[in-house]
């Protein structure tokens, strides 16, 4: 197998670490192999969309999720470093309301699998970051929701040194206790 799977504090969220082959010329790794990925997460998923964002230091995006057409996401950073966060939004889950955070960077080349049913966000820790992610469903504006990034009930440690740079919708996110959740 060319990837390793590292457990997180939320059993369904997994860190995917590729095997990197490097020498004096540079490096090579498979950033996605469907067969190995399905074995790693112990389920089959189909990705329908790839997204790429570039953000400056202290930009915080999230915590986003969709009430219908829930998206699973496979996320990675190809330039820079981010703190990536997933929050369990499933009321029936024993981990409902819990979160996990992991540093993803162009240096560690780690990816994070965030299954449907989780809110997702990230904060840029480097001067800038290029963030790529695959989704299992399309984006639908009318179904998108946002949990407030600094909700005191969640108490996420974003590792910020300064105030975050937020989109208007992220600054106006809903408190977790009032957020629409999944069954």
Degrees to nearest 5, angle at CA 85 with 31 and 111: 10
For 158, phi then psi, to 5°, come to -80, -5
Q: What percent of the chain has pLDDT over 70?
A: 99
Fold of 8-18+47-178: Jelly Rolls (2.60.120)
Q: Output the pLDDT for position 128.
A: 98
pLDDT in tens, 51-95: 999 999 999 999 999 999 999 999 999 999 999 999 999 999 999
Catalytic entry in 38, 120, 133, 138: 133
Whole-number mean pLDDT of the chain?
96
Q: Output the pLDDT for position 183.
A: 80
Is 163 a residue whose pLDDT tops 90? yes
* 131 SS3 class: strand
Structure confidence at residue 14 as a pLDDT band (50, 70, 90): very high
Q: What share of the chain is helix, strand, coil (3-state, %, to 5)?
A: 10, 45, 45
Catalytic entry in 38, 64, 143, 182: 64
Any alpha helices (H) in 4-158, and if so which ranges?
34-41
Q: Which two tokens stand for residue 40?
A: 């790693």
Look up 133 and say whether it is catalytic.
yes
CA 51 to chain centre: 12
Tell me the β-bridge partners of 182: 90
Is 10 a residue whose pLDDT tops 90? yes
Look up 182 and say whether it is catalytic.
no
Q: If you average pLDDT over residues 38-51, what whole number do you get?
A: 94
């Amino acid at each position: 197998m060319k990837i390793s799977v590292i457990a997180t504090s939320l059993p369904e969220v997994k860190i995917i670490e590729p095997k990197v082959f490097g020498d004096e010329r540079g490096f090579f790794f498979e950033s996605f192999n469907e067969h190995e990925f399905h074995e790693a997460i112990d389920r089959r998923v189909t990705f329908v969309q790839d997204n790429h964002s570039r953000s400056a230091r202290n930009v915080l995006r999230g915590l986003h999720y969709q009430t219908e057409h829930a998206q699973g996401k496979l996320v990675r950073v190809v330039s820079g470093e981010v703190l990536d966060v997933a929050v369990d939004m499933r009321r029936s889950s024993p981990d409902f309301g819990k979160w996990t955070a992991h540093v993803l960077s162009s240096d560690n080349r780690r990816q994070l699998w965030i299954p449907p049913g989780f809110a997702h966000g990230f904060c840029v820790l480097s001067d800038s970051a290029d963030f790529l992610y695959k989704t299992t469903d399309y984006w639908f504006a009318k179904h998108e929701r946002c949990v407030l990034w600094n909700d005191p009930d969640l108490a996420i440690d974003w590792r910020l040194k300064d105030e975050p740079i937020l989109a208007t919708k992220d600054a106006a996110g809903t408190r977790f206790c009032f957020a629409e959740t999944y069954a």
